[in-house]
Amino acid sequence: MKIGLTDCEEIVMNTIWLMESKGEKHITLPMILLEVNLQHKKEWKPPTVSAFFARLVQKGVLDMRREGRLFCYRSIQSKEDYITSLFTKYTEFLFDGDVRIFKEAVQKWISKEDVDLCKPEQ
């Protein structure tokens, strides 16, 4: 499974993950097209979204099945697994796998309040 998604592919996947989290089982191209164009202020056309779907299926993060005359899509990889794979990839690449250096870098750009939120409750 390839991890790197383009920004546009991430928009499509985030939309699918959101719809799935709301219990949607039959996600179709028209549904994604409407949601993406509304939520992300895009003006994508069906062939554009179809191209993203094809690449996401090829990358192994999206499944496509035919139901009657429609194609339905569902995620194969959860959003949490995708985020974990990104953190792992970039920790390995940028910090030689050293999570402590990664943590220090993150702490430099987030606020003290955010750091406090990450501390385990006692």
What confidence tens digit (pLDDT) does each residue in 25-70 have? 999 999 999 999 999 999 999 999 999 999 999 999 999 999 999 9
Token pair in block for residue 22:
């709301």
Residue 68, C-beta contacts closer than 8 angstroms, at least 6 positions apart: none
* 29-39 vs 46-58: helix crossing angle, rounded to 10: 110
Query: What percentage of the chain has pLDDT greater than the value 90?
Result: 62
Q: C-alpha 100: how far from its chain's center? A: 25
Token pair in block for residue 102:
């990664």
102 compared with 8, residue with greater pLDDT: 8
Q: Are the C-beta atoms of residues 53 and 12 closer than 8 Å to each other? A: yes
Query: Looking at residue 107, what is its pLDDT?
Result: 78
Q: Quickly name the fold that domain 7-75 has.
A: Arc Repressor Mutant, subunit A (1.10.10)
Distance linking the first and last C-alpha atoms of the chain: 38
The Cα angle at residue 56 between residues 54 and 59, in degrees rounded to 5: 110
